[in-house]
Amino acid sequence: MTIPVSIEWKNNRLIILDQQKLPHEIDYLTLDTIESVYDAIVTLKVRGAPAIGITAAYGIALAAMNHHTENMLDFREYVQKDVEYLAESRPTAVNLFWALERTLLSIKVAQTVHEAQELLLKEARQIHIEDEESCRTIGEYALTLLEGQSTVMTICNAGSIATAKYGTALAPFHLGRERGKDFSVYACETRPVFQGARLTVWELQQSGVDVTLITDSMAAHTIQTKKIEAIIVGADRIAANGDTANKIGTLNLAILANAFNIPFYVAAPSSTFDLSISDGSAIPIEERQSREVTHIGNLPIAPPNTKVYNPAFDVTPAKYISAIISEKGIIYPEFKENILAVLGKTASN
């Protein structure tokens, strides 16, 4: 039983697990241009907030290796353009912008193009390593929170393959498995593109965690009849007051948790917090192509020319969240004060 990983840097190449093809095919793609990195993010070959950030950072490092100039001013301009290009790939997960910002900051001190190229790669690798450490720590904290609970529901895939390793919401299940704590996980299929059915079920099966698939519309009945004890989800962006954007359908689960009086936990690294926005209304919500709703794979399930609304994320108000689990610690309400305290920030930074 192994915990799958989806991103590897090898021989100056970026290798990713093609998540579009899971679970039918386990196929790895080599990305060696910034265009291929952009495409992989847009088409969900790589997805999940931390994984998008890590991939983008490697994308900038890859592109930098292909900029053949000795002129630092030209080089900085190229890197700036690369950053702007990748920033257009997906709007909601703040980890993307956080990672791109880190790459820019990393070359502030560089004197030569060669030095800057090396610093960009070093920064990408550092982001990658730090994310694995953060996810492991999130898993440890989540295990303590879930000590008395073993039947847990989740949505989308906030797992190992959405991060460097372990995942956020799925980290306690992987770590629990290593330590002999058996969770029973109910995974919502997560329409429209089935990250729950295709990815979470596959990932948990790989690591030997007991997982049961339900359709999204079965959540209320399942909580009621299968005695779900807690819900744990990931996040794409958390505002300063704790409002949290995550995969569409998360808000439904938060309201259900509230109605059934069970805890609703959000698990996310500090790179997912956006303290520049005061609440969730400022989080940009990605709308994706209608085909994701009108088709399952290549099979149409709606009449031609059907009008579609396809938001990829929703925002859960902080009032529905029992705790946010970060690598810096567990954050309880009142989130506005406690996020700053646990992350070790002040309102201005």
> Would you tell me which residues interact with ligand MRU (CB under 6 A)?
47-50, 93, 156, 158, 162-163, 167-168, 195, 234-236, 246-247, 312
The residue (of 57 and 110) whose beta carbon lies closer to ligand MRU is: 57
Token code pair at residue 61: 């490092």
Residues 170-207 as b/e (b if ≥16 CB within 10 A, e otherwise) read: bbbbbbbbeeeeebbbbbbbbbbbbbbbbbbbbbbebb
Closest CB to ligand MRU belongs to which residue? 234
Residue 279 known to be catalytic: no
- Show the tokens assigned to 137: 């720590």
Residue 336: which H helix or E strand, with range?
Answer: helix 335-343
Given 236, 243, 274, 314, the catalytic residue: 236
Measured between alpha carbons, how far is residue 29 from residues 6, 32, 115, 116, 246 in Å? 10, 10, 28, 26, 26
Closest CA to 125 of 4, 6, 9, 269: 9
Select 210 or 292, whichever has its Cβ closest to ligand MRU.
292
- For residue 225, the minimal CB distance to ligand MRU (Å) is 25
Q: Which residues pair with 153 in a beta bridge?
A: 186, 231
Question: Could you tell me the smallest distance in angstroms from the CB atom of residue 267 to ligand MRU?
Answer: 8
CB-based contact 317:280 (threshold 8 Å): yes
Cβ-based nearer residue to ligand MRU, 228 or 266: 266
C-beta of 33: minimal distance to ligand MRU in Å? 22
**DSSP label at residue 217:** G
**Nearer CB in complex with ligand MRU: 103/168:** 168
Least gap, CB of 141 to ligand MRU (angstroms): 15
Catalytic residues: 236
